[in-house]
Structure 1
Amino acid sequence: MHWHRVPVTGQHYVDTGAGVPVLFLHGNPSWSYLWRHLLAELGSDFRCLAPDLPGLGLSPGRPLRSRPVDQFLGQLDALDALFRHLVADRGLPGRGWTLVMHDWGGPIGTAWARRTPGVVDRLVVLNTIGFRWPAEYRVPVYLRWIRDHKCVAALARATDALPRLAVRVGVTVPLGRAERRAYLLPYARRRDRRAVEFVRGIPHDDRDPTWRLLEPEGPDVLAGLPLFVGWGMRDPVFTPTLLREWTRRFPHAEVRRFPHAGHYVTEDVADRLGCHIRDFLQRERV
């Protein structure tokens, strides 16, 4: 497993394995450490790339833009830069990619796949979204507080309460002390907790301009792609309501429900999840 850096953006990423490229996109407040079990499982057969998204993990972030939609566009631009670097400098192909997405990595990944049609051939979805909130869904109250109130967001950034809460309530099998410390390491200093403010980019309603990046006006280029869904059913944020929306929109999807797993499904059921994803990728190999 090797660390590299995108020359243009300073974005850090893990590069391991050989074969068809698989790009792993984490959420907030996480980083590429989230993928360690899947990288070990899949690296023998696939070229696994796991970046730290800008402003998260070990990737320094650019100054926050004024509007959440511009912050989201900044993530897409950084993903473009990463892709160009991997193709031009690391010898990866320009097509045949798989996206593995979790949490806020889902909206970023699906928007980028729609922005670059023909690059992505397969999707793996893990407790995330790639569309507007369903009408019956409600964002948890503590995330709404951070999103809607600058003073609460500032207080959250002043502490590491959000990352600490995530590593405890996001799992059903408690993490060991070393694992918790690893998750929290990039957010130990206040200046490195700008990720907390990204919560303010969570869309409010159908009028939010961020949604136009997720909902295509014409035919969806992702509609017919092979899709695997692995879902922790005890996730307090990405609830079964969102899983039902995935299955409604993608009725051909292969779905694995894990009744006793939480938000960090990659932790609670790492071995089973890795085997299911490996089987899916090998069966749908392009």
Structure 2
Amino acid sequence: MTLLYDYPFTSRWFTTRGGLSQHYLDEGTGAPVLFVHGNPSWSYLWRRPIVALRDHFRCVAPDHIGMGLSDKPGPDRHPHTLASRIDDLDALTTHLISERGAPERGWTLVLHDWGGPIGIAWALRHPHRVARLIICNTAAFPNPYGPRVRPGLRLPLWTLLRTPLGPSLFLRHNVFARGATWRPLGVRRRMPARARAAFLAPYDRPEHRIAIQRFVQDIPLRPGDPAWPVLRTVDQGLAQFADRPMLIAWGLRDPVFDLAFLREWRRRFPAAHLLTLRGAGHYLLEDAHEEVVPAMRRFLGAGQT
């Protein structure tokens, strides 16, 4: 892949037990900050906070298997499920602690989209590691609307995915990843062409888009969905992090993770620091990085004694 716009990092690779190469960034030194992305983004989403924080923190940002610069296996080599992504994150962080000098404790989790349940599930396995959390338009509990999708999203996403047209839209035409870079689905202000191209670069052909499709198919909406037990475990364990400092940074124009999700976070963590961004959508770090990144630095105490 050619050099990516505004991505001045050294790529690193971790070989999974299945022999797959997982790409990750490991920038800076100090207390570790673990950035966990969702779908259909990748570590490119975190480029600005990593640049801003790596002078005081060790910033770790993996790409899930099948996404970003990681290997893109078919379902015969990787299940592309919520449970498998948690296992992948656990294996990588264990490697960093045991082989690359990362500390056992003092980790800050930064979570976006379906990085929320992945990251919190990892934290529930190792609660002693987690010092702080930064929550960005995500969830770690069942859909506040119940076993349904918001009406405006049913047709373009879940309904079409389950029709014969779904595979063509996701795999051949890449509509999900493309749509996330356009107004009003993913952003509220126009994304520069070079940034949009970088978000889409890893998903340049149908066989590289399987994980995006499987990510959506695996979303647990009701009991009986394969990932539902994992999400319920995350939901039930979330309260144990109520004593950790938390920053909630939220784009208020997100069509998926909307005010109902924000209210649920606020109900569970009323002491959390809150930054609401009226002009920001789902990719809040694209719409409002000028506000979000400094807020992250202040919350983490970067440069302060």
Stretches of structure 2 that go unaligned for 5 or more consecutive residues are 1-8
User: Could you report, residue by residue, the CA deviation over 1:110-135 in whole angstroms, capped at 9, with x for unpaired residues?
Assistant: 11111222111211110010111113
Is 1:95 matched up with 2:112? Answer: no
CA distance in structure 1 between the partners assigned to 2:23 and 2:89 by the alignment: 12
CA distance in structure 2 between the partners assigned to 1:227 and 1:206 by the alignment: 29
Is 1:246 matched up with 2:265? Answer: yes
CA distance in structure 2 between the partners assigned to 1:208 and 1:116 by the alignment: 26
- The answer for the alignment partner of 1:215 in structure 2 is 232
- The answer for the alignment partner of 1:116 in structure 2 is 126
Is 1:202 matched up with 2:202? Answer: no
State the secondary structure of the residue aligned to 2:293.
Answer: helix
CA distance in structure 1 between the partners assigned to 2:77 and 2:219 by the alignment: 14
CA distance in structure 2 between the partners assigned to 1:19 and 1:272 by the alignment: 24
User: Could you report, residue by residue, the CA deviation over 1:194-247 in whole angstroms, capped at 9, with x for unpaired residues?
Assistant: 122221011122443523323345684323221110000001111111000100
Task: Assess, with a 3 A threshold, how the Cα gap between structure 1 residues 260 and 19 changes in structure 2: closer, same or farther.
Answer: same
Cα contact 2:221–2:228 (8 A) shared by 1:
no
Is 1:224 matched up with 2:234? Answer: no
Is 1:181 matched up with 2:197? Answer: yes
- The answer for the alignment partner of 2:178 in structure 1 is 164
Within the candidate set 24, 33, 56, 2:35 is matched to 24
State the secondary structure of the residue aligned to 2:34.
Answer: strand
Shift of 1:146: 4.8
Cα contact 1:65–1:71 (8 A) shared by 2:
no
Cα contact 1:132–1:206 (8 A) shared by 2:
no
What is the number of equivalent residue pairs in this alignment? 283
Stretches of structure 1 that go unaligned for 5 or more consecutive residues are none
Task: Assess, with a 3 A threshold, how the Cα gap between structure 1 residues 218 and 203 changes in structure 2: closer, same or farther.
Answer: closer
List structure 1 segments (4+ residues) > 6 angstroms apart after TM superposition: 65-68
Task: Assess, with a 3 A threshold, how the Cα gap between structure 1 residues 32 and 218 changes in structure 2: closer, same or farther.
Answer: closer
Shift of 1:62: 4.4
TM-score by length of 2: 0.86
Is 1:5 matched up with 2:4? Answer: no
Is 1:191 matched up with 2:199? Answer: no
Within the candidate set 237, 251, 263, 2:282 is matched to 263
Same amino acid, percent of matched pairs: 42
User: Could you report, residue by residue, the CA deviation over 1:127-160 in whole angstroms, capped at 9, with x for unpaired residues?
Assistant: 0101111136734212212554464134321212
Q: Which has the larger displacement, 206-215 or 21-30? A: 206-215
TM-score by length of 1: 0.91
CA distance in structure 2 between the partners assigned to 1:24 and 1:256 by the alignment: 18
Cα contact 1:172–1:260 (8 A) shared by 2:
yes
Give RMSD over aligned pairs. Answer: 2.3
CA distance in structure 2 between the partners assigned to 1:11 and 1:88 by the alignment: 17
